[in-house]
A and B are shown apart, each in its own frame.
Chain A
Amino acid sequence: MRGVWAIVVLDLKRFLQERARLVAGLMQPLLYLFVLGAGLGASIQHGGADYRKFIFPGVVGLALLFTATFAAITIVFDRQIGFFKAVLVSPVSRAAIGVGKVAAGALQAMMQGVVLLLFAPLVGVHLGVVEVLAVLGAMLLAALTFSAIGVALASRFTSTTVFPIMSNAVLLPMFFMSGAMYPLAPAPHWLKALAHLDPVAYAVDLMRQALLGSGPGIAFFPVWLDIAVLVGVTLILTWAAVRVFARGEEVNLGPTAFPWRK
């Protein structure tokens, strides 16, 4: 546990030192909520509800997704500069490294998500204590899943330039297929089928039900399925990252590393 704690504390210290990241991370979700939401909301009514209210859980999901996933860039950066070696030669278990990194990314995302929750009343989402607790639980589970996606990806990259490009290539389709910005129920069959394969869809669905209830047009999956998928994906991806960490340096050295030696 102390190893997990050490990794979490390190990453949180780094995150809090970069306050610009905290602010910049809020810009995109707020633009979606107040600019896109206002623009599209003028012509779209969802079941009589305000469009901005409908997309609010999706916008929180967006903030969680990108913050949690990009938090894992510290793995790539540490590997590039050599600091990760100091972690790998320590007796801290590889599982603790994986869990610590996932937890650290999730906590960073939660900080962003909690700030966004403060905007809920502005879009007509009024929360009681029960709703707040429910949505915090849903957000934490979503953040852990997204962080695990980031850690699993980052464990395989050695370039801080390539990692964000590849992450965007994976994350943006996941976000757009998730139903964060539109209801999935009336969507085409192919899109609904893809949403079933998309962890972000389950996370948004869970947060939407926690924030807006499970009435018609709100819930797409049963809550138990949302939770089961998110827990399953988190465990599998964390395990995959731990397996990569367990290989130490071997993962990064290809067969052509010593081409000068015949």
Chain B
Amino acid sequence: MNGEDLARIMEEENKIKKSQPHQIHVCVAAACLSAHSESLKEDFVKEIKRRGIEHQCKVKGVGCLGLCAQAPLVSVESEGVLYHNVTSQNVPQIVEGLGKKPVKELQASLEAPFFSRQHRVVLDNCGRIDPERIEDYISFGGYSALLKALNEMRAPEVIEQVTRSGLRGRGGAGYPTGLKWSTVSKAGGARKFVVCNADEGDPGAFMDRTILASDPHKVLEGMTIAAYAVGASEGYIYVRAEYPLAVKRLRTAVHQAERLSILGKNILGTQFNFSIEIRLGAGAFVCGEETALLASIEGKRGTPRPRPPYPAESGLWNMPTLINNVETYAHVPRIITEGGDWYAKLGTEKSKGTKMFALAGRVTNTGLIEVPMGMSLRDIIFGIGGIPEGHKFKAVQTGGPSGGCIPEQHLDTPVDYESLAKLGSIMGSGGMVVMDETSCMVDVAKYFMDFCKSESCGKCIPCRVGTAHMHDILTKITSGTASMNDLSILEELCDVVQNTSLCGLGQTAPNSILSTLRYFREEYLAHIQRRICPAGVCKMQEQST
């Protein structure tokens, strides 16, 4: 396989596509699948066969179309029409209308802010390609970035482009990607590794899994370019076992890439070798922390270790290791094709590019979105998301268990790494859970503390004991048995756990308490002093006098 072969596959694919004027795309990502889109796809195939128009119509299972709230989704790509809440009864109607009149009542408006305000870089292929066919990815220009990097650029030039793009780690911490790559490339050692962190453990976040299930080759391409840039020949993808769909499609993708020698030895006819192995996580949130993740790849318990040394110098089996998350790698191919300067035009001064968010909770349009950095929270939640009628926005939780809750008065904050940190939350991997008046903020803090408590690996004491103690106090508050003294102990504990824990899990665990105390202190006081839960969620214990 070389550049000519790539071009040939692309040409063949496009020829077939041209001969079939009607392209029906049925979403087969997680949410639509659970709304039975697989059988819907079968129905389309049957209906088209029944009418004997197979030569004109192509039915294709595609990755996430975005608007998960109205699953299952079907798009007729050739006509730019998107149908939502499709049932098998609608199939004949839709097929009938092909090329003539779209079915109005099922049509979703593509001019709605949910679609028009997005800017898709990572998600550009999502909903357009079949995630289980490498040829389809190639026909959309896939692996041309890798070809360009291998044939036209030297490794330092690749790093230079990534540095210029201003891309920062999309896993949450926002470390400059170019800088990380150049550290690993300069590190000595015979063997180096490239690792992809696909252990997306934040509840309420489904960006990485969606990329892996919708466009897995993009991640493989990004990783391979990274390996070329830093001089590694072995890679690992550490993916959650809880995401069977993502694992399955990823495995298929790796096999296909190996078959076409896009992975393995002499990639695309060059001297460059790189192989990728998939490692399954086993349900430990702490394995999202890089040193714990590396321990887990080595087959050990996923406990973190102190840094430095950073994995860039001493990672997997003490060799220099580059570790980025799924979304970060997925940005790379476009940066290489279009250039770092093109990418740097998107976003804000310090946070470049686009970011994916998983919108969930009390919003009308739950789903997966990608917007330029710097868009305000209000635009995302009210513009793209939309609050259901009769409900009042109360807070948005960003960054999962490590993040915090942001109230209405701060919604005009632009979404970037620094601004969110200033509000006591974090960018995190991109989960955004919207809450309304039916949520009690103390209860939410307790929910996250319960999470941190059971996910604490137990290695360092502040996190192991502190999270349990904080959870106990929150339980007391939500049952109406706490005193003001408990509240001050809670605040003190937050400080201790934040400052003395070994890894990110413990250091950020108090964020949910700190941010809710900062913005919703009166709710805590109502629970403690008046023994009432303003949202009516917590059940207060009878006073025993």
A and B physically associate: no
**Interface residues, chain A, CB within 8 Å of chain B?**
none
